[in-house]
Chains A and B, each alone.
Chain A
Amino acid sequence: MTDFLQLLLSGLATGSIYALAALGFTLLWQASGTINFAQGEFVMLPAFAMLACMSFGAPLGIAFVLTVLLAVVVLGWGFKRGVVDPLLRFGMMPIVVATIGLSIAMRNGVRAGFSAEAHPFPNLFADKIFNVAGVTVTLADIGTFALAVAIVLATQAFLSRTVTGRAMQAVAQNTESAQVLGIDVPRMVFYTFAINATLAVAAALLVTPTYLAKFDMGEGLGTKAFFAAIIGGFNNSRGALVGGLIVGVAENLAAAYISPAYKDAVALLIFMLVILFKPQGLLGRKEERKV
């Protein structure tokens, strides 16, 4: 039983990070009907930006704030203006292809600049271990889990409780009506991209100490987050959290009780089952998209 709990806890910490990246998927989908296959690289890039800031002597906190600002400009505004806006009118496929291309470019760009080797990344949480009923828990695990869940719930609250958040949702549901009601549609869409970029930086902060900063760290993360978003429901922010946690925990259990070789297959299996039997995702709602 303690073994199971140990695996569960460890899985929850990993899963909460998948959830953060998955939330980005669902947000962009809701706001602009786009799928960003460079989501993993959107996490990788800030990790290196923070490392770069720290190499100039900035402490982790300041590096984080600087990187958030940079990410909002580059991964938010720049991505929207440079990739999504010009391509959106041709439908979703060109954007999907463009983001796949973007992810390759980002990976290789970072590899050229920072070498193909992994770089250590400082841990946000102190190296503390607790022993509760035979289960060893680290402060890092608990902290990561708590912080990620808090960020997901805060984003959710922002979207449903604030005027801006509701305006963003209105734009997502029906752009024309929102415009008629006097909502600044482009600005709301930009907010979504900015939030996505910020989430990516937060995910980078939490995930990099374990993943290590490496040019291809986003590859697996992006795929897992995509699965998590589909499993939880692509049009529900809370679904991203549920999906992420399911994938994280299932992976760890599979590695221990089946074989580590099938670890990655588990997420894919759940993904296929969900697509077959509940295509809108566990928490998602059926939607008819405007054509």
Chain B
Amino acid sequence: MAKTKNTHTRRLLCQALIASCALGAGGAWAQQTIKIANIVELSGGGATAGTNFKNGVELAVKEINASGGILGKKIESTTSDTQSNPGIAKGLTQKAIDDDVFAIFGPVFSGSIMVSMAESRRAEVPNFTGGEAAAITEQGNKYVFRTSFTQATAMPKLARYIDQKMKVKTLAVIYVNNDFGKGGLDSIKKALAATPVKVAAEISTEPGQIDFAAAVLRAKQSNADALFAYSNEEESARLLRELRKQGYAKPIVGETTLTGQKVIDLAGDAANGAIAHVGLTVDAPNPAIRAFRAKFEKEYKYVSDHNGMKGYSGVYLLKAAIEKTGKLDAKAVAQTLHGLKVSATQQPGVLMDVSIDGKGDLDRESFMVEVKNGKQEVIATVPALGAAAAK
């Protein structure tokens, strides 16, 4: 019954669309539904991340529509595949703007959003991304919004944890010598400068490196109290294996990647004991996240990763901003998003209390996880940077 009704509504919508196009009244029609475009990686290297993000967005859209939409308007979402290619992402963003969308979700890859966000900026359309490169929000773009942390927001939290909870005095850093790794090294050094923790060794490794014997040896020689490992997935796995091989007995800390399921799968037993800071995890001991995990699993028959949470919470951020603005004006909504604070008790879909700053970066609680028996387990909750500073 619901389905027939749904098809019926859709047919009506289609008719409305045709009619409005025929009359050249596209603008007037845009007020009837809130059109959003999902521009994500459904094939190529980013397929896993993109698919999760898209599923998260669609789940949120379905829920919001079922509970009456935003300001009484239903959301209508379309999805297109960037093939993990920045050029295609840019073209699709342009196309979505031509279709007069209200907001754009994706791409997830930093390299893609860096290119495509120029289009949404020009058209003054809010663009939510899963990208985590610091540079995305460094360019004064008033229309790009993150759904997750950056290196620059994650590292101060991690540094605080290393100092206060782990009581580490000296830290060896093994990083990968590319933009990601060097950015991470700079951020952690900057963050550690505010703490008494000293960096005992900076050990550079190459992207695609196979043999980490020399790197691990240098970490051991540095005699540091703990090791901070910051590399891509495969390299992290090989590094963990070499650390295990050489019997490295001190704590191994990382950021997100180090304890990702892919790294755990590749590193096997060697991943056990590794600790990392993660911005989002479905394992978090938080009722809203638990509920999300269950709904997502029911809908898609698998457990979401953090990208699913990014897409899902992103749509609810948009909802909160539109409701606060009180009208369907994309430019005004983008303005509202800057400086917006959303509490999870009022808007459970954002999953955690969150605040967005003037650049489009967000701040909220995050988690420390440890790999135990081949699974991530949350061992601590790290307060939001703003909250911790306020104390």
Where the two chains meet, the residues of A that have a C-beta atom closer than 8 Å to any C-beta of B are: 3, 6-7, 10-11, 14, 115-120, 127, 129, 131, 136, 138, 140-141, 210-212, 214, 220, 251-252, 255-256, 259-261, 263-264
Contact = CB atoms under 8 A, between A and B. Distances in A.
A210 B210 contact: yes
A117 B262 CA distance: 9
A252 B214 contact: yes
A115 B266 CA distance: 15
Given A127-B269, A251-B211, A256-B214, A116 B45 contact: yes
Contacts of A252: 211, 213-214
> Which 9 A-B residue pairings sit nearest by Cβ, starting from the closest?
A256-B214, A10-B213, A255-B214, A118-B234, A120-B266, A136-B246, A138-B245, A136-B247, A116-B45
A143 B244 CA distance: 17
Interface in B227-244: 233-234, 237-238, 241, 244
B23 to A, nearest CB: 47
A3 B205 contact: no
Given A117-B262, A127-B269, A260 B206 contact: yes
A22 B237 CA distance: 27
Given A10-B213, A256-B214, A261-B206, 14 more contacts: A6-B246, A7-B213, A14-B210, A127-B244, A136-B245, A212-B234, A212-B238, A220-B208, A252-B213, A252-B214, A255-B215, A260-B214, A261-B177, A263-B206
Most chain B CB within 10 A, of A14, A136, A251, is at: A136
B107 to A, nearest CB: 17
Contacts of A6: 213, 217, 246
A22 to B, nearest CB: 16
A116 B214 contact: no
B205 to A, nearest CB: 5
A252 B246 CA distance: 15
Contact of B237 (A7, A138, A212, A263): A212
B69 to A, nearest CB: 37
Contacts of B177: 260-261
Interface of B: 44-45, 47-48, 177, 204-206, 208-211, 213-215, 217-218, 221, 233-234, 237-238, 241, 244-247, 262, 265-266, 268-269
B219 to A, nearest CB: 12
Nearest to B206: A260
A260 B218 CA distance: 12
A264 B211 CA distance: 11
Given A115-B47, A260-B215, A211 B210 contact: yes
A7 B266 contact: no
Nearest to B267: A120
Chain A at the B interface: SS class = helix
Contacts of A131: 247
Contacts of B45: 116-117
Contacts, number: 78
B204 A260 contact: yes
Given A120-B268, A212-B237, A260 B44 contact: no
Contact of A260 (B209, B244, B246): B209
Most chain A CB within 10 A, of B204, B206, B210, B262, is at: B210
Nearest to A14: B211
A263 B206 CA distance: 9
20 contacts: A11-B213, A14-B210, A115-B47, A117-B45, A119-B266, A136-B245, A136-B246, A138-B245, A210-B210, A210-B211, A212-B237, A212-B266, A251-B211, A252-B213, A252-B214, A255-B211, A256-B214, A256-B218, A260-B205, A261-B206
A80 to B, nearest CB: 30
A252 B210 CA distance: 11
Nearest to A210: B210
Contacts of B204: 259-261
Most chain B CB within 10 A, of A11, A119, A138, A140, is at: A138
Contacts of A118: 233-234, 237, 266
A3 B221 CA distance: 9
Nearest to A254: B214
B214 A210 contact: no
Nearest to A6: B217
Contact of B234 (A7, A115, A214): A214
Contacts of B262: 117
A202 to B, nearest CB: 18
Nearest to A115: B47
A119 B269 CA distance: 15
A7 B212 CA distance: 10
B331 to A, nearest CB: 39
A211 B221 CA distance: 25
B211 A10 contact: yes
A212 B238 CA distance: 9
Nearest to A219: B208
Contacts of B214: 7, 252, 255-256, 260
Nearest to B220: A3
